[in-house]
Amino acid sequence: MQHFLRSFWMLALVVSSTSLCAEDRVDFAKHVRPILEKQCFRCHNAEKQEGGLRLDLRASGLKGGDNYAPAILPGKSAKSPLIDFISRDDADLRMPPKGDRLSAAEIKLLSLWIDQGADWPAETDALANAGAKHWSFQPVQRSQPPQVKLAATGNANAIDAFIAEKLNAKELAHSPRADRRTLIRRLNLIMHGLPPTPEAIDAFIKDDSPDAWKKLVDAALDSPRYGERWAQHWLDLVRFGETHGFETNRERPNAWPYRDYIIRALNADKPYDQFIREQVAGDALGADVGTGFLVAGPNDIVKSSDINLTLMQRQDELTDIVNTTGVTFLGLTLGCARCHNHKFDPITQRDFFALQAVFAGVQHADRNLPPTPERVSQLAAIDRRIDALVKQLEPFRSPLREPVNAQHNVERFTAQTAKYVRFTVLATNGGQPCVDELEIFSEGKNVALSKAGTRVTCSSSLPGYAIHKLEHVNDGQYGNSHSWISNESGGWVQVELPAAVPIDRVEWGRDREGKFKDRMPTRYRLECAAEPDQWKLVASSDDRQPFSDQANAQASYRFDDAPAAEAEQGKRWLAELEAARKEKTQINQSALAYVGTFQQPGPVHRLYRGEPSAKREEVAPDTIELLGSLKLTSATPEQERRRKLADWLTSKSNPLTARVLVNRLWQFHFGRGLVDTTNDFGRNGVAPTHPELLDWLASELMDSGWSIKHVQRLILMSHTWQQDSRPQARGIEVDGGGQLLWRFSPRRLEAEAIHDSILAVSGVLDVRMGGPGYDGFEVQYENVRHYFPKKTFGQDDYRRMVYMKKVRAEKESTFGAFDCPDASQVVARRTSSTTPLQALNLLNSDFIQHQAQLLTARLRKDAGDSTTAQVKRAFQLSFGREPTLDEQTDAAQFVDQHGLLLFCRALFNANELLFVP
């Protein structure tokens, strides 16, 4: 700010040196520019980089400094901070800081210039917008494919023409087409993350139809395995995790619906513009799960009584959302403008907080998803089945109800008209009582939800824990992280309904997710009243069997006194009842997803140096000023803010969205993008190697209705993608990095594809899709979660790794060494390291030894006892080919000396299994 005002001090001297009266116009060009140009008054090294503060540029002059922005309010000198500073006596803030002060006449003249509009010549705006001339901020222009000679290509398309133009300029040419065995393996590994079966390879090799490759590409894009593979790339990008991170790193049991949403959207080829809209404002579009994008990142659930820490935590949450949105969809590092104007790109700190105002109402939390007709029908059918089974089991019922359990208890009674319901805890199995969710039913509907206007009160609440507040007792969200804990050994919680209604059932639990069993109410009473203080007891623990840690539903029924046949039938009914109740719980839990909640935010201010306590001017919700405006106000409803931003992001006039997406697609097909810095399309990023091709692909994306598969099909059908990968001396000499794409560059698979390929080879890959993921760790459920390597493996561990619960800041013991991101920040492209630990894991880990045993059994089953046949089958499964004569001889000798099991372990460590050819 001082640099800024020193320059204006010199400006004031120049203006005041001219004798003007109030009726005269202060002429910038005549009185101001000559001295400014002569002296070159700038600050922040403006002569070395564009965007420095220059008073001969209107936009820069109005920008102001850190403390006040803008420093000049044209037409309002009395409210302009500049006039305030040059008029001050305060030594710390007055301007100029040293030397003679401005005279009253000089200040008056400068005020006159501001009151007249503080005019700069129009041409200075063009200079100020020099940063806007950066290539990525220009409109997408569809280029016509060049007319060039395409050497060694019999199936070229427009992509090949753009590539050939660059190759010809360097006297290079495309490599020949790869053989069919290589092509199908490359296609499956890149598009599915799985190797092709030997049968699929043979079928493709024998298919002599002219459209054999096209059919294979279409089949790859239509397979459900496609969505699972490409969802992993997207989940990396949006920092998806299934724990909160930070020191406690507790689980997010309901994060998985967003992962499934991504897989379904990609498989269905959901138009990319709609894909974006649903992730930014899906709650306004009937696609609620999509907003899981906004809250997919880490979240510190340990709050503090220190308001400064709490405010900073909130700023970190919002910065994560703003930065992820900017990087993911725009390829811009918006987070760099949190504390100051962006050092490289024309993004101001005001722009950052304008975008923060768009998301200021987003809160990390689970949200109940709207009921679907299918789910309502399922639950109704299960309830009918449960009621029928309960009636059938009535002859076997114990005089006492089953003991209380931590997960789910049902209190049924004769219908009572009630406005007030009180649940009083008399004793627990240890500690202060905890209640997860208190549900009150009237005519089959839960009327206790807070969103229905229900009010809750209690005897006391445990202080200092955001996850154990009273408001959680009827928020519709299950689990320990949304529960109420009393601050005394017993206590009560009371629900006041909006109006008196007939109720006949109350359901409650300590932890509906079944992970915690402490603090459970074991003795209690349930009362209701139509009028205040007219309590009537409707249920209690008195008619339950005594609580014990081993209690289960079977304790409610007695079969010993019944005839054997009837007893067996009763046991079968009881098993069906328990299964039906479990299914109902699972369906109810599937209606809850970690996709955020929304509330109307208060005013948003620009924060000096990003400090929450250093508020400056209020900022309305908007986007990057250089690229447009949302035309919103601080009063705009929260949902409308996000919807408007989504519309702006997906506008065809937005120069970044389509370019960024096609560049990411290119990267995952070829290993690197046309713009190598896939997350930075700003001026600190790398220029595209083939700018015309980038724009052509972006145009194809938009003109195809934003079809991702359309762009991928173009890439896969190109000769450039189908090239052989073998190096050539001339190519290495001229373009050792392969940026000009004279060959297909082989690369190692990511951790998930390696994991899944091993399962496919061993023959146990489980292709079940969707639903809660499986644990990749043994978890110690303390306040601070501890994660340990898994020692035993079952059917769930044979699912694809995209379904493994993603734990932040922890790496799975075998495949985590292969550069898995920790889900704490956006990852556009994984690193690819080579370490001894990787080889050791693929040889000696418990998982690999288990898989080697399974592969050994498969080889013996498929090939019998013949070592020759076993080796041949092993090569077919692992590498998609038969062994050479030398390989056959050496492998057979190895098996005879060291055994088939060790040979299988060695196969899992082979580069040919781990690399895209």
Residue 869 CB neighbours (<10 A): 15
- Give the E-state strand segments of 358-431 in sequence order: 362-363, 367-368, 409-428
Average pLDDT for the chain: 89
pLDDT of residue 282: 97
pLDDT of residue 99: 63
pLDDT tens-digit readout, 713-747: 999 999 999 999 999 999 999 999 999 999 999 99
pLDDT of residue 466: 87
Q: Which of 279-288, 352-361, 371-380 has the lowest mean pLDDT?
A: 371-380
Of residues 368 and 910, the one with the higher pLDDT is 910
Q: Quick one: which H or E segment has residue 912?
A: helix 911-914
User: Cα separation of 62 and 81, whole Å?
Assistant: 11
User: Cα separation of 26 and 753, whole Å?
Assistant: 69
User: Cα separation of 143 and 692, whole Å?
Assistant: 6
Query: Is residue 583 over pLDDT 60?
Result: yes
As a residue count, the chain comes to: 917
Handedness of CA 612, 616, 617, 619 (dihedral sign): negative
Residue 537 CB neighbours (<10 A): 12
Burial class (CB in 10 A: 0-12, 13-18, 19+), 816: middle
Of residues 712 and 41, the one with the higher pLDDT is 712
Three-state secondary structure call for residue 324: helix
Three-state secondary structure call for residue 570: helix
In the 3-class helix/strand/coil scheme, how is 777-801 assigned residue by residue? EEEECCCCCEEEECCCCCHHHHECH
The upper half-sphere exposure of residue 107, i.e. CA atoms within 13 Å in the direction of its Cβ, equals: 18
The structure tokens listed for 797 are: 């561990």
The arithmetic mean of pLDDT across residues 615-621, rounded, is 94
Query: Is residue 707 over pLDDT 70?
Result: yes
The upper half-sphere exposure of residue 364, i.e. CA atoms within 13 Å in the direction of its Cβ, equals: 25
What does the DSSP assignment read for 53-96? EETTSHHHHHH--SSSS-S--TT-GGG-HHHHHHH---TTT-SS
User: Cα separation of 64 and 639, whole Å?
Assistant: 32
Give 271's contacts (C-beta < 8 A, 6+ positions apart).
Answer: 705, 706, 707
pLDDT of residue 377: 87
Handedness of CA 859, 860, 862, 868 (dihedral sign): positive
User: Cα separation of 176 and 152, whole Å?
Assistant: 6
The structure tokens listed for 60 are: 């820069």
0.75 cut: is pTM over it?
yes
Provide φ and ψ at 574, rounded to 5°: -65, -40
pLDDT of residue 375: 80
The structure tokens listed for 778 are: 């043994």
pLDDT of residue 102: 67
The arithmetic mean of pLDDT across residues 455-481, rounded, is 93
pLDDT of residue 13: 44
DSSP label at residue 815: T
Exposure letters 620-644 (e unless 16+ CB within 10 A, then b): bbbbbeebeebebeeebebeebbbb
Angle ∠(819,223,376) on CA atoms, nearest 5: 100
Tokens 């109740």 map to which residue? 581
The structure tokens listed for 587 are: 């369906």
DSSP label at residue 658: H
Using an 8 Å Cβ cutoff, are 724 and 176 in contact? yes
User: Cα separation of 668 and 231, whole Å?
Assistant: 12
pLDDT of residue 5: 47
pLDDT tens-digit readout, 23-63: 667 666 555 454 334 333 333 333 333 333 444 555 555 65
pLDDT of residue 64: 58
* Confidence band, pLDDT 50/70/90 cuts, at residue 231: very high
Residue 153 CB neighbours (<10 A): 22
Angle ∠(756,759,760) on CA atoms, nearest 5: 85
Strands 491-508 and 484-485: unpaired
464 φψ region: left (φ > 0), alpha (ψ -120 to 50), beta (else): left
* Confidence band, pLDDT 50/70/90 cuts, at residue 376: confident
Give 399's contacts (C-beta < 8 A, 6+ positions apart).
Answer: none
Exposure letters 761-781 (e unless 16+ CB within 10 A, then b): bbbbbeeebeebbbbbbebee
Exposure letters 889-904 (e unless 16+ CB within 10 A, then b): eebbebbeeeebeebb
Q: Which of 307-321, 577-591, 758-772, 836-850 has the lowest mean pLDDT?
A: 577-591
* Confidence band, pLDDT 50/70/90 cuts, at residue 378: confident
Query: Is residue 641 over pLDDT 70?
Result: yes
User: Cα separation of 64 and 808, whole Å?
Assistant: 41
User: Cα separation of 336 and 313, whole Å?
Assistant: 18
pLDDT of residue 12: 44
User: Cα separation of 492 and 238, whole Å?
Assistant: 42
Alpha-carbon radius of gyration of the chain? 34
Residue 704 CB neighbours (<10 A): 17
* Confidence band, pLDDT 50/70/90 cuts, at residue 132: confident
Burial class (CB in 10 A: 0-12, 13-18, 19+), 673: buried
User: Cα separation of 97 and 582, whole Å?
Assistant: 74
pLDDT of residue 497: 97
What does the DSSP assignment read for 460-482? ---TT-GGG-GGGGGSS--SGGG
pLDDT of residue 21: 60
Handedness of CA 891, 895, 900, 903 (dihedral sign): negative
